[in-house]
Amino acid sequence: MTSVPTITLNDGKSIPQLGFGVFQIDPAETAEAVGLAFDAGYRHIDTAQMYGNEKGVGDAVRASGLDRADVFVTSKLNNGYHRPEDARDAFARSLAELQMDYVDLFLIHWPLPTLYEGNFVATWKTLEEFASDGRARSIGVSNFQVSHLERLAAETGTVPAVNQIEAHPYTTNDEVRAYDRDHGIATEAWSPIAQGAVLDDSVVVKVAEKVGRTPAQVVLRWHVQRGDVVFPKSTTPSRIEENFALFDFELDDEDIQAITDLDRGEKGRTGPNPDVFDHIPD
Ligand SMILES: NC(=O)c1ccc[n+]([C@@H]2O[C@H](COP(=O)([O-])OP(=O)(O)OC[C@H]3O[C@@H](n4cnc5c(N)ncnc54)[C@H](OP(=O)(O)O)[C@@H]3O)[C@@H](O)[C@H]2O)c1
């Protein structure tokens, strides 16, 4: 079976560079989808409190017969629980849903700078507690812009292990990626194929024809060669396998550049801008 490269985080832990995302997978169908991903070889699952399907992820891990230590599980703090006492309760609920005594990585899902008096620093300090008691092996953030990361650096002692941000050919997000790289933060690219929107792009299709791979494989390979962590989502068995087959071909510099040049900046986002996003799910 293909072996997925690992990336060493700034806390010494390692993370498989390719995982499986479960955003928008129905809670009732999550265990089956994650089971298919395990069969295909994935050992890294990206879930969140907001997705409502942590239980399905935990069920799949137990049903797989894999050792807990051989699976990397990430979850994320939901937007309604940024206050420290709420974050502590919510984190305990995540572990209960997953039926696990630790997660490999726990993230602040969104910075929410316009809520909670903009105090994501207090939330981050609460995640530091989960890291120090071992219930979160690594901690990080998601959707943090450079200004948010600069504030954490100025006001706290720990550097996030990862920053999970929207990144794909239409929003390369290279400014945040450069900050991450320069400060030892691993970048995780969410919606790596822009939920499918980049797959018909003529440049992507042309590179795919040239290397004899599918558009999705080419775009995911572009992320891998940029050094980012990715976890495409699919509930289609053939695509789950297709998205895992990324390590037996390479793109040349010209292909990489042609795909990077598709960047549309802010206009290319599929999701909201983190500076203004303030949604609290019910
Ligand atoms: N931190 C955050 O704020 C945040 C936000 C969004 C996402 N994420 C994470 O990132 C993960 C991935 O992002 P995403 O789920 O938004 O989008 P994505 O992985 O870019 O795209 C998923 C979509 O593409 C389709 N697809 C998957 N593989 C394909 C292939 N080989 N060919 C054609 N179509 C394909 C899927 O359809 P089918 O399922 O029908 O096959 C699904 O509609 C999420 O699951 C989640 O873990 C995090």
pLDDT tens-digit series, residues 25-63 = 999 999 999 999 999 999 999 999 999 999 999 999 999
Q: Mean pLDDT throughout 240-249?
A: 98
Ligand 1, atom nearest to 194 Cα: 20
pLDDT for 282 equals 87
Ligand 1, atom nearest to 199 Cα: 33
d(CA 40, ligand 1 centre) in Å: 17
Identify the three-state secondary structure at position 107: strand
The distance from CA 123 to its chain's CA centroid, rounded to whole angstroms, is 19
Residue 233 Cβ contacting ligand 1 at under 6 Å: yes
The beta strand positions in 109-194, using DSSP E, are: 136-142, 162-166, 186-190
Gap between the Cα atoms of 176 and 36, Å rounded = 33
What is the average pLDDT value for the chain, to the nearest integer? 98
At position 149, the amino acid (one-letter code) is L
**Which residue minimizes the CA distance to atom 34 of ligand 1?**
196
pLDDT tens-digit series, residues 191-241 = 999 999 999 999 999 999 999 999 999 999 999 999 999 999 999 999 999
Residue 246 Cβ contacting ligand 1 at under 6 Å: no
Gap between the Cα atoms of 186 and 138, Å rounded = 12
Gap between the Cα atoms of 38 and 95, Å rounded = 20
Ligand 1, atom nearest to 217 Cα: 31
d(CA 190, ligand 1 centre) in Å: 8
Active-site residues, by number, are: 51
Q: Exposed (0-12), middle (13-18) or buried (19+): which is 135, by Cβ within 10 Å?
A: middle
Using pLDDT thresholds of 50, 70 and 90, give the confidence band for residue 1.
Answer: low
Cβ-proximal residues to 202 (8 Å cutoff; 6+ apart), any chain: none
Of all residues in the chain, what percent carry a pLDDT higher than 90? 98
Gap between the Cα atoms of 245 and 275, Å rounded = 35
Q: What are the C-alpha distances in Å from 185 to residues 2, 40, 157, 276?
A: 26, 29, 14, 23
Gap between the Cα atoms of 141 and 62, Å rounded = 27
Q: Mean pLDDT throughout 126-152?
A: 98
Residue 143 Cβ contacting ligand 1 at under 6 Å: yes
Per-residue pLDDT at 259 exceeds 80? yes
Mutation probe of ligand 1 site: the residue of 75, 191, 246 with most atoms within 8 A of C-beta? 191
Residue 179 Cβ contacting ligand 1 at under 6 Å: no
How open is the CA angle 25-272-238, to the nearest 5 degrees? Answer: 30
Gap between the Cα atoms of 49 and 51, Å rounded = 5
Residue 141 Cβ contacting ligand 1 at under 6 Å: no
pLDDT tens-digit series, residues 107-133 = 999 999 999 999 999 999 999 999 999
Residue 232 Cβ contacting ligand 1 at under 6 Å: yes
Q: Mean pLDDT throughout 131-155?
A: 98
Euclidean distance between the first and the last CA atom of the chain, given in angstroms as a whole number? 42
pLDDT for 120 equals 98
How open is the CA angle 114-193-37, to the nearest 5 degrees? Answer: 105
Residue 78 Cβ contacting ligand 1 at under 6 Å: no
Residue 230 Cβ contacting ligand 1 at under 6 Å: no
Gap between the Cα atoms of 164 and 110, Å rounded = 10
Mutation probe of ligand 1 site: the residue of 23, 110, 176 with most atoms within 8 A of C-beta? 23
Mutation probe of ligand 1 site: the residue of 74, 193, 205, 217 with most atoms within 8 A of C-beta? 193
Identify the three-state secondary structure at position 42: coil
Per-residue pLDDT at 2 exceeds 90? no
Residue with tokens 């812009």: 145
pLDDT tens-digit series, residues 96-108 = 999 999 999 999 9
Residue with tokens 């969410």: 190
How open is the CA angle 13-239-273, to the nearest 5 degrees? Answer: 60
Per-residue pLDDT at 157 exceeds 90? no
**Which residue minimizes the CA distance to atom 5 of ligand 1?**
190
Token pair for residue 68? 């807990």
pLDDT tens-digit series, residues 59-87 = 999 999 999 999 999 999 999 999 999 99
